[in-house]
Amino acid sequence: MWSVWALELLKGFGRLFTQPLLYYGILLAGFVGWRRMSRERSHFHIRVYDWFHESAFFWRSGLGFGLLFSLVTVAAGTVVPSDFVMLLSYVTIAASLTLQIRLLSPAYTVGTAIFIVLVLAKYEKTKPFFSDYFPNLQETNVSAVVMLLALLLLTEALLILRNGGIGTSPQLTRSKRGLIVGEHWVERLWFVPMLLPVSNGTVLSSFSWWPLFPAGDGSYSLMFVPFLLGFSQRIQGMHPQLSIRAAGRRVMVLAFAVFAGAMVSYWYAPLAIVVAALAFLAREWLAFWQHVQDRSQPPYFARRAQGLVILGILPKSKAEKMALQIGEIIVKVNGIPVKTEEEFYEALHRNRAFCKLEVLDENGEVRFVQGALYEDEHHELGLLFVRERQKWTSKAV
């Protein structure tokens, strides 16, 4: 028995590299990086992060969480038909073509796939299409898919909390009053491979309780399924890390609520479609509520009467080595009060060998930052500020 499982596990790992969605995700992450880089250059005439910034996050953490939750899916026997896996890949690709990365949240992709299984695949006019191209789709155990949805939402929440707030992209935009202010934009695409029992294969159930969510004829194979999880958020009214952490906690609450609904649907199957629909609507509400909450506050990165707000810091720059942080306010440079970018560099220019900054941190407490400068380095600290531009357009790639 164990040799059969071990062989299936190896085959399941190999099947991962036959999934087109994996390679599509790699290309999509590259495109997201290119688009973000184009926006940064449009706003600041320089890129903040390189092209592969998003690609690094594509692989980060998702692998670990995918393997961790694979123990749950296999142990519980969360079986899905291979046709459902294929359908979910198509839904994911279709959602990504909108270029709205947030629509790759599992609440949208898995929720849409469940709607197709329960409605379109049974509707008289569309049923022949699904019968021809997805003949095993009707074997889908919707309770199993809702359990999978809960695990993926939990993965999304953990990924948001773990690295959603790292390396956000500074942008310029216009406030409701027409003033130029700063904001931060994060777009994350995560690759999460999850091991799933798939109906029809060589593995037979050896336990009376396994699988908890059966499908098909009672024989199974193992498949590492590549899931693409997306998250996108624009922050203007508060510090980006605080806003993103709040978003992650809200998604985690939603994940536990869906998990509870999935467990109840195990005994009362009709509840599964209700849970999936509510997850879809709740995820959309969370995104809407975050936007309304953010815009109801005064712009966090705006010109101040006293001091200069740090909107962005270039990686590996002098400013990063000096431990400056976005959102901090530079009040004085070499003892000279500053409130514009021009005044900042004029004050910095007065001492070509050394700079001393008086900074207000997030708590409003004063701290002093100082460091030696090399020749012409006073022009290359790597700080980005909100500034007026003669030609401004809010349209960016």
**CA 208 to CA 188: how far, in whole Å?**
41
Residue 254 has pLDDT above 50, yes or no: yes
pLDDT at 396: 38
Please state which of the four CATH numbers 2.40.128.20, 2.30.42.10, 3.90.1150.10, 2.40.110.10 is assigned to the domain occupying 308-384: 2.30.42.10
Task: Supply the DSSP string of 325-358, one letter for each residue.
Answer: -TT-EEEEETTEE--SHHHHHHHHHT-SSEEEEE
Average pLDDT, the chain: 88
What is the CB neighbour count within 10 angstroms for residue 370?
11
pLDDT at 92: 97
Per-residue pLDDT reduced to its tens digit, 134-188:
998 888 889 999 999 999 999 999 999 999 999 999 999 988 777 889 999 999 9
pLDDT at 30: 96
Q: Pick 58 or 218 by higher pLDDT.
A: 58
- At 323 the three-state DSSP class reads coil
Q: Pick 258 or 178 by higher pLDDT.
A: 258
**CA 114 to CA 167: how far, in whole Å?**
34
Most confident of 91-95, 265-269, 317-321: 91-95
Confirm if 247 and 162 have CB atoms less than 8 A apart. no
Residue 387 has pLDDT above 80, yes or no: no
C-alpha neighbours within 13 Å on the C-beta side of residue 87 = 27
Hey, what are 175's tokens?
């406030």
Distances (CA, A) of 236 to 32, 42, 230: 21, 18, 20
- At 126 the three-state DSSP class reads coil
What is the CB neighbour count within 10 angstroms for residue 8?
21
Tokens 């901090």, residue located = 328
Q: Which residues contact 268 (CB under 8 A, 6 or more apart)?
A: none
Instruction: Report the pLDDT averaged over residues 279-306.
Output: 92
Parse the chain into domains and list their residue ranges.
Answer: 2-295, 308-384
Tokens 């000279």, residue located = 336
pTM here?
A: 0.91
Instruction: Report the pLDDT averaged over residues 364-387.
Output: 77
177-191, 285-299, 349-363: least confident range:
349-363
Confirm if 58 and 83 have CB atoms less than 8 A apart. no
**CA 359 to CA 369: how far, in whole Å?**
7
Q: What is the DSSP letter of 122?
A: T
pLDDT at 221: 84
Per-residue pLDDT reduced to its tens digit, 13-55:
888 888 999 999 999 999 999 999 999 999 988 999 999 999 9
**CA 213 to CA 210: how far, in whole Å?**
8
- At 44 the three-state DSSP class reads helix
